[in-house]
Amino acid sequence: MTMPAANQLSFPELYERELVGPLFRPWAEILLDRARLAAGDRLLDLACGTGIVARLAKARLGDNGCIVGIDLSPHMLAVARAVSPDIDWREGKAEALPVDGGEEFDVLVCNHGLQFFADKPKAVREMRRVLTPRGRLAVATWRPIEELPMFRDLQQVAQRHVGTIVDRRHNFGDAAVMGQLLADAGFEDVRVDTLSRTTRFADARTFLRLNTIAIVGMSAAAPTLGDEQRTQVVSSIVRDSASVLPPYADGKGIAFEIRANLAIALR
């Protein structure tokens, strides 16, 4: 079967094909390692996107576990269902999880999703609500953009085209604040570590385009852009952003350090 060309894929399809492997899978593996999965565990992948945490957990647990993935985006979930139809995918908000009172999980993992939740204290209380007594929580969020020079410089280029950008991906990077949020919700044995790893993309231009689409969507100009204008703006920013990448060249691709906070806690 021939794969569609990149320009024929939706953003969630491109996210799954181009971003999940190099960017999100390594952190998902680390979170699952720290959550100490055991046979028979019930696991909830919150803000699951296209489902990398749930899929990896399924591979580790096999038939000796139960996996549920929850995300707000029906488009992300459509890709998740197409890739792994055997997992229980549910649409819902983190602040009101589609989990009834009789359903509990031994492990809850949130891989770079907490920073996007509108009401973080309420979302964290919901996380605790659906865990079993002494259930394990594993959460990752990106560090502040000031610590990520390439992303900072790409944002500065984009702002020349679309005005102020509030990059929500990096708006919850303070480890102490993250730890206090979990403690305030009633979690115990909270530990937050900061980790750094090298990320490599074989196709620098595809990465640049996807990152540009994301930050344009978080810009002051986003609500005023029609589809054609948005496409033109993205192309212009990608063109002007090429000058940022040479220090990160890795063959035909790019490699850069990216940092994240990883929190582990018990209900």
How confident is the prediction along the chain (267 residues), in pLDDT tens digits per residue? 343 455 578 989 999 999 999 999 999 999 999 999 999 999 999 999 999 999 999 999 998 889 999 999 999 999 999 999 999 999 999 999 999 888 999 999 999 999 999 999 999 999 999 999 999 999 999 999 999 999 999 999 999 999 999 999 999 999 999 999 999 999 999 999 999 999 999 999 999 999 999 999 999 999 999 999 999 999 999 999 999 999 999 988 999 999 999 999 999
The domain segmentation of the chain, as residue ranges, is 6-144+168-200+258-266
Burial 112-127 (b: 16+ CB within 10 A, else e): bbbbbbeebeebbebb
Select from 79, 78, 114, 73 the least CA-distant residue to 92.
Answer: 73
Token pair for residue 223?
């609500």
DSSP 8: G
- pLDDT tens digit string along 99-154? 988 899 999 999 999 999 999 999 999 999 999 999 999 999 999 999 999 999 99
3-state helix vs strand vs coil in the chain, percent to 5: 50, 25, 25
Helix (H) or strand (E) holding 173: none
Q: Which residues does residue 141 pair with via DSSP β-bridges, in sequence order?
A: 261
How far is Cα 169 from Cα 192, in angstroms, rounded to an integer?
Answer: 18
Do residues 42 and 107 touch, judged by C-beta distance below 8 A? yes
Q: What pLDDT was estimated at residue 6?
A: 52
Q: Cα-flanking dihedrals φ and ψ of residue 116, to 5°?
A: -90, -10
pTM, full prediction: 0.92
Cβ contact 234:212 at 8 Å: yes
Q: Which tokens hold the place of 239?
A: 């063109």
CB-based contact 68:44 (threshold 8 Å):
yes
Spatial CA neighbour of 84 closest among 57, 47, 55: 55
Residues shown for the chain: 267
When the candidates are 3.40.720.10, 3.40.50.150, 1.10.287.70, 3.90.1150.10, the CATH number that belongs to 6-144+168-200+258-266 is 3.40.50.150
**Half-sphere exposure in the Cβ direction for 53 (13 Å, CA):** 32
Q: Whole-angstrom distance between the N-terminal and C-terminal Cα of the chain?
A: 46
